Amino acid sequence: MSDYKIVLLKGDGIGPEIVNQAVKVLDKTAEKFGFTVEYDEALLGGCAIDATGVPLPDETVEKCKKADSVLLGAVGGPKWDTQPGNNRPEAGLLGIRGALGLFANLRPAVIFEPLKGASPIKDEIIGGALDIMIVRELTGGIYFGEKGRKEVNGNPAAYDTEMYSVPEIERIARVAFDLAMKRNKKLTSVDKANVLESSRLWRETVIRISKEYPEVELNHLYVDNCAMQLVINPGQFDVIVTSNIFGDILSDEASMISGSIGMLASASLSEGKSGLYEPIHGSAPDIAGLGVANPLATILSVAMMLRYSLDQPKAADAIENAVSTVLKEYRTPDIYAEGTKKVSTDEMGDLVCNAI
């Protein structure tokens, strides 16, 4: 019997190409660190619509629920743009996140030393290597609160409600504190407690949970200040925890500090250990099948899987170190710089394997 069962949702566009490289790298780490992995594939997105008529077949949900972890490539493409909203490939993505109860979204904003030049932020502001982890609450808050239209003083009006319960805040806070314990033991909780009642409850609850983690240094920032601090002094952050809407915006801002969409991994976690791991970029239909897609975001998603779901931190470190080493000399076209050698998707996968 294998140690871990992983479901692969390769999806559409460049999805299959990049997931294949990530599997190669996972196999290499398994061999090196002495564990075994069994794979199963399932359909999600456009390829699922073509085969079954819907973007998220029941069979896919069942397989993912039984797995130790799920690795997703990307979904979508022009072929399915005429599908009705609830049957588009992206609806499958939202569906699988909901079905697996993924309430915590982890988005690292990392700059690998050799890629510093690609960041829109000046070198002297970045300082040393940058490594921030944003933890975004994913299933509550204003995106899921009561919403509607009504009439106010004879004028049409609309409203959305930001609401968080204490258990929702407690569980996302614990994910963030646990992560901080594994990193530099520094947590920034981001809210708007000077204006919003829901933020005041958020802050009270985070402070209460902090008593369980006396080693973690906790501070609080208002979201507007945090947005500024990310560009003027990003080095001050280790882990950031925040609500769904603030995290949506801040994680995009922070990830752009790294300067390249092909490098950015993410994890979404449920209660318990399992999770869904995916690059943050889409299916890049413009370059699908050309062998030029950057597989590193997906490979780095596997590193996150090893660290957060499979308890193999050394294997995770090995992948991240291998990526950093390879980047000194080799680049896919999206991150190419003079003085380095341009390589294909497949070659990049092989180079990372060889560096492990």
Q: Which residues in this chain contact ligand NAD in the complex, by CB under 6 A?
A: 14, 18, 74-77, 90, 93, 261-262, 278, 281-287, 293-294, 297, 334
Q: What are the C-alpha distances in Å from 300 to residues 26, 71, 134, 238? A: 10, 11, 16, 18
Query: Sign of torsion, CA 2 350 304 71?
Result: negative
Q: What are phi and psi of 107, to 5 degrees?
A: -125, 105
Q: Which amino acid is at 50?
A: D
> What whole-number distance in Å separates Cα of residue 53 and Cα of residue 32?
41
Task: Supply the minimum distance, in Å, between the C-beta of residue 261 and ligand NAD.
Answer: 5
> What whole-number distance in Å separates Cα of residue 340 and Cα of residue 201?
51
Tell me if 278 sits within 8 A of 71, measured CB to CB. yes
Catalytic hit among 143, 178, 346, 350: 143
Task: Supply the minimum distance, in Å, between the C-beta of residue 10 and ligand NAD.
Answer: 11
Catalytic hit among 58, 252, 311, 317: 252
**Among this protein's residues, is 58 annotated catalytic?**
no
**Among this protein's residues, is 178 annotated catalytic?**
no
Task: Supply the minimum distance, in Å, between the C-beta of residue 299 and ligand NAD.
Answer: 10
**Among this protein's residues, is 27 annotated catalytic?**
no
Listed residue (8, 19, 105) closest to 63, CA to CA: 8
**Among this protein's residues, is 273 annotated catalytic?**
no
- Is the Cβ of residue 217 or residue 347 nearer to ligand NAD in the bound state? 347
- Is the Cβ of residue 69 or residue 205 nearer to ligand NAD in the bound state? 69
Catalytic hit among 10, 28, 63, 192: 192
- Is the Cβ of residue 69 or residue 294 nearer to ligand NAD in the bound state? 294
> What whole-number distance in Å separates Cα of residue 279 and Cα of residue 261?
9
Catalytic hit among 27, 248, 346, 350: 248
Q: Which residue(s) pair with 249 in the sheet?
A: none
Tell me if 190 sits within 8 A of 221, measured CB to CB. yes
Task: Supply the minimum distance, in Å, between the C-beta of residue 9 and ligand NAD.
Answer: 9
- Is the Cβ of residue 18 or residue 315 nearer to ligand NAD in the bound state? 18
**Among this protein's residues, is 224 annotated catalytic?**
yes
- Is the Cβ of residue 83 or residue 325 nearer to ligand NAD in the bound state? 83
> What whole-number distance in Å separates Cα of residue 287 and Cα of residue 308?
31
The DSSP symbol for 294 reads -
- Is the Cβ of residue 74 or residue 226 nearer to ligand NAD in the bound state? 74
Q: Where are the beta strands (DSSP E) in 63-185?
A: 69-74, 104-111, 130-137, 147-152, 155-160
Task: Supply the minimum distance, in Å, between the C-beta of residue 289 and ligand NAD.
Answer: 12
Task: Supply the minimum distance, in Å, between the C-beta of residue 52 and ligand NAD.
Answer: 18
The separation between the first and the last C-alpha atoms of the chain, rounded to the nearest angstrom, is 25
Which residues are part of the catalytic machinery? 143, 192, 224, 248, 252
